[in-house]
Structure 1
Amino acid sequence: MADPELTPDGHFVIIKGRRWRATDPEIPPEQAARLRALLMAARRDVGAALRAEDADAQRAARARVHAAKVALGERGTPWWEQNPAERRERWQRGLDAPA
């Protein structure tokens, strides 16, 4: 799969003509892969909760999706506005969160 198009400043990716915040490029590859795995597991859990019509499980899974997206720098304070220590703390908090 080809890498998505980035805006000139590197802050956003363009997918199907829509702009989305890019993942923080300073997250080490191993940690970024772990965060993406947590994100995808949470997304699968959202789907399972929807199929089971379990509102509590859906709410919990969506909260985990949000936490992973924040840790990746795709939500919350923009990563380019954070200093290196804040960025590291953000993604480390995502890795330390209960699954």
Structure 2
Amino acid sequence: MRTTRSVSKKLAAETLPTQPKEVTRATKSSPPKTNDGHYIVVNGHKWRATDPMVPDDALAELKHFLAKGRSGARRQNKHDPEKLQLSRKTTGLAKLGLGERGKPEWWNDTDKGRKERWKNALIQLRELYSDNNST
């Protein structure tokens, strides 16, 4: 039986550009991207890139929530199903707001749709944490 990781590697290998010049070079702050800018490439895997339309202040807040969700799911929440669920929901909403999840993909969406996606994600994340009295 194949694991998801091995299938992902195979799909990434099949869909990665065949010529090196089709992937931009990595900088210290970002991994290489495909020429169209829709995906980043990390260890041979293609991952959907963050929507470049998200403004810097919203981007910083969404990344804050993403880090909060990931660290929460990784550490203390393994034995607390409610906290684990909150962490996973936080991660999912942050990735949705960043354009890294959801349909349509950010490059196939309208400017209005892209703006609504990150704004709605931030509203939901703020409400989620105000309801839980956590910051």
- Same fold by TM (over 0.5)? yes
Q: Distance in 1 between matches of 2:55 and 2:81?
A: 35
Q: Size of the alignment, in residue pairs?
A: 97
The 3-state SS of whatever aligns with 1:20 is strand
Q: 42, 64, 67: which one pairs with 1:37?
A: 64
**Residue 11 of structure 1 aligns with which residue?**
38
User: Percent of pairs identical after alignment?
Assistant: 34
Q: Tell me if 1:89 matches 2:116.
A: yes
Q: How far does the alpha carbon of each residue in 1:44-93 deviate from its partner, in whole angstroms, 9 at most, with x for none?
A: 2212202xx11221112101110110010000011011100000000001
Q: 62, 69, 75: which one pairs with 2:101?
A: 75
Q: 49, 52, 57: which one pairs with 1:22?
A: 49
Higher strand share: 1
The 3-state SS of whatever aligns with 1:5 is coil
- With structure 1 as the length reference, what TM-score do the two structures score? 0.92
| Residue segments in structure 2 that go unaligned for 5+ positions in a row | 1-27, 130-135
C-alpha RMSD over aligned residues = 1.0
- With structure 2 as the length reference, what TM-score do the two structures score? 0.68
**Residue 77 of structure 2 aligns with which residue?**
49
The 3-state SS of whatever aligns with 2:119 is helix
Q: Tell me if 1:62 matches 2:88.
A: yes
| Residue segments in structure 1 that go unaligned for 5+ positions in a row | none
Runs of 4+ in 1 over 6 A off after TM superposition: none
The 3-state SS of whatever aligns with 2:51 is coil
